[in-house]
């Protein structure tokens, strides 16, 4: 699922009265948003236990990661609505919409979120939530929801499916250990062709009866199969590695994700860390298959050569490019990615990895002088995206 357009956040405005109320209450709401978010999820899961069982990732809930992402996104959107100097959160909204369609979220579920979120705000802030304050933040929520719903409908339509109809039954056709902790799965089914860099949500039924979902980047694939890399980490990944064999079936969603290879003539620089290599391997595969003439530089950081999941595959792909080079950095050798020795001038840069890695690289790229700066920076974070919207 993919469209070239972005969510239209600029077509939505608060009334003057609502904007003034949000401005006056933005700081206390932001300061208490973590508590609000935690209260919200507690209320929602108490009223709808099927959501934590069958839709939300329990690991993210235990780590409060999803709560942080919700808090950051709501506050970011509200700040954008009332302060013209704030950057447009269009990329944040695009990323959220792709996550939603990969989970089959539909318009009716926004009402559930609304009711429990507003109740959480009232409970957390108490008497400070006057009818005027409640009305203003209600308007913020529905403006954000409206932008997301519209974009999500466009994403569903891009694959010609009804809203939410993204789950397919897939059969594991191959299972291959890439490292001690990473296993590649090839899943066959009636899918849609992924864009290079996209992901699929895989669902398994655990021993307690819960169907849990996790998103995995697609190394290679077409409408009949997806190849993914699974690293030992969390309930779903451990279940896949230890309990799912060739011939077994799993739930898999149609491909989604906003980190896709953009067309054009700019040089390409791919930078990954750890299992963040997976979507970039997907991009490399596409570049080779289509004999792309652009200059491609691939930089990868890992603990060691042995932990690099796609080491040989990446080297083979880069060697098959028209103009490619590869530069690994291994922490057990004391190496760190140094952006100053990588030619990113005028390039489209794609980043994928953990939070600290992306924070550091994004800061390094932003600090480059104009004559050495990239043309564009695109990224995927392998966790809920709270820092990216702060």
Per-residue pLDDT tens for 288-345? 999 999 999 999 999 999 999 889 999 999 999 999 999 999 999 888 898 888 999 9
The answer to whether residues 181 and 245 belong to one domain is yes
- In this structure, the number of other CB atoms found within 10 A of the CB of residue 136 comes to 23
Q: Which of 2, 41, 141, 152 is catalytic?
A: 152
Check if 20 is active-site.
no
Q: Which pLDDT value is given to residue 206?
A: 85
The confidence score (pLDDT) of residue 44 equals 86
Tokens for 339? 């952006």
Residue 19 and residue 137 share a domain: yes
CB count in 10 Å sphere of residue 357: 21
Residue 29 within a domain: yes
Closest CA to 20 of 158, 136, 193, 179: 136
How many helices and strands (H and E) does the chain possess? 12, 11
Mean pLDDT of the chain, nearest integer: 89
Least confident of 32-36, 94-98, 369-373: 32-36
For 162-179, the pLDDT digits (tens) are: 999 999 999 999 999 998
**Residue 387 pLDDT exceeds 70:** no
| The dihedral sign for the CA sequence 216, 221, 223, 226 | negative
Q: Are 350 and 209 in a shared domain?
A: no
pLDDT of residue 59: 55
The rounded percent of the chain whose pLDDT value lies above 70 is 92
Q: pLDDT digit string (tens) for 198-223? A: 999 999 988 888 788 899 999 999 99
How many angstroms separate the CA atoms of 171 and 82, rounded?
A: 49
H or E segment at 175?
strand 167-177
Note down the domain range covering 377. Answer: 268-389
Any domain includes 261: no
**Given pLDDT bands bounded at 50, 70 and 90, which one contains residue 388?**
very low
Last residue of a domain, one of 138, 158, 178: 158
Q: Judge whether 258 lies within some domain.
A: no
The strands making up 376-381's β-sheet, listed across from edge to edge, are 324-330, 296-302, 268-273, 348-353, 376-381
Determine phi and psi for 7, rounding to 5 degrees: -55, 140
Higher pLDDT, 323 or 5: 323
pTM of the model: 0.89
Higher confidence at residue 384 or residue 120? 120
Residues 117 and 30 in one domain: yes
Q: Is residue 363 part of a domain?
A: yes
Q: What is the pLDDT of residue 64?
A: 55
Residue 324, in any domain of the structure: yes
Which of 158, 178, 207 is the C-terminal boundary of a domain?
158
Q: Exposure string (b/e) for 309-347, b if CB count within 10 Å is 16 or more?
A: bbbebbeebbeebeebebbbbbeeeeeebebeebebeeb
Residues 6+ apart with CB under 8 A from 279: 197, 198, 199, 217, 218, 257, 259, 352, 380
Question: Is residue 84 scored above 90 in pLDDT?
Answer: no
Judge whether 138 lies within some domain. yes
Q: Does 195 fall in a domain?
A: yes
Query: Tell me, what CATH number does 182's domain have?
Result: 2.40.30.10
CA-based radius of gyration for the chain: 21
353 plus 274 within the same structural domain: yes
The tokens describing 134, both together, are 């409640």
Considering the domain boundaries, does residue 259 fall inside one? no
- CATH value at residue 83: 1.10.490.10
73: Cα separation from own chain's centroid: 13
Q: Are residues 291 and 310 in the same domain?
A: yes
In angstroms, the Cα distances linking 212 to 58, 240, 253, 359, 381 are 8, 11, 13, 29, 20
pLDDT of 274 higher than 50 = yes
- Do 25 and 43 sit in the same domain of this protein? yes
Q: Are 288 and 183 found together in one domain?
A: no
> What pLDDT sits at residue 390?
41
* Catalytic option among 110, 141, 216, 226: 110
Residues 143 and 172 in one domain: no
Q: Which two tokens stand for residue 177?
A: 């250990």
Q: How confident is the model at residue 386 (pLDDT cuts 50, 70, 90)?
A: very low
Number of domain units in the chain: 3
234 and 303 in a common domain: no
**Looking at residue 324, what DSSP letter applies?**
E
Q: Indicate if 153 and 188 belong to the same structural domain.
A: no
pLDDT at 68: 65
**CATH code where residue 383 lies:** 3.40.50.80
Q: Which of 205, 226, 253 is the last residue in one of the domains?
A: 253
Active site residue 152: yes
Residues 132 and 191 in one domain: no
% residues pLDDT > 90 (the chain): 60
Reply yes or no on whether the pLDDT at 268 is more than 70. yes
């Amino acid at each position: 699922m993919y469209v070239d357009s972005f969510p239209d956040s600029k077509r939505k405005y608060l009334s003057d009265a609502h904007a003034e109320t949000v401005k006056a209450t933005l700081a206390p709401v932001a300061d208490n948003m973590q508590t609000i978010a935690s209260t919200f999820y507690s209320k929602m899961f108490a009223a709808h236990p099927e959501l934590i069982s069958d839709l939300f990732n329990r690991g993210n809930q235990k780590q409060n990661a999803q709560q942080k992402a919700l808090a950051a996104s709501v506050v970011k959107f509200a700040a954008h609505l009332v302060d013209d100097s704030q950057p447009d959160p269009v990329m944040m909204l695009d990323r959220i919409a792709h996550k939603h369609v990969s989970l089959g979220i539909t318009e009716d579920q926004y009402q559930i979120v609304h009711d429990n979120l507003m109740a959480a705000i009232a409970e957390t802030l108490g008497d400070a939530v006057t009818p005027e304050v409640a009305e203003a933040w209600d308007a913020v929520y529905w403006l954000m929801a409206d932008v997301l719903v519209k974009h999500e409908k466009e994403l569903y339509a891009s694959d010609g499916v009804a809203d939410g109809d993204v789950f397919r039954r897939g059969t594991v056709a191959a299972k291959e250990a890439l490292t001690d902790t990473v296993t590649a799965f090839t899943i066959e089914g009636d899918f849609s062709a992924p864009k290079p860099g996209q992901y699929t949500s895989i669902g398994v039924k655990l021993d307690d009866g819960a169907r849990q979902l996790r998103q995995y980047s697609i190394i290679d694939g077409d409408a009949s199969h997806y190849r993914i890399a699974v690293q030992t980490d969390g309930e779903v990944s451990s279940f896949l590695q230890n309990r799912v064999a060739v011939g077994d079936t799993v739930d898999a969603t149609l491909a989604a994700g906003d980190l896709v290879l953009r067309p054009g003539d700019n040089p390409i620089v791919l930078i990954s860390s750890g299992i963040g290599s997976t979507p970039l391997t997907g991009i490399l595969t596409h570049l080779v298959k289509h004999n792309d003439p652009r200059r491609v530089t691939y930089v990868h950081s890992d603990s060691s050569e042995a932990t690099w999941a796609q080491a040989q595959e990446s080297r083979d792909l880069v060697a098959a490019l028209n103009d490619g080079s590869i530069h690994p950095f291994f922490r057990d050798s004391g190496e760190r990615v140094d952006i100053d020795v990588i030619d990113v001038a005028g390039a489209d840069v794609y980043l994928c990895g953990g939070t600290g890695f992306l924070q550091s690289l994004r800061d390094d790229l932003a600090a480059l002088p104009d004559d050495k700066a990239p043309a564009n920076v695109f990224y995927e974070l392998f966790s809920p995206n709270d820092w990216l919207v702060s």
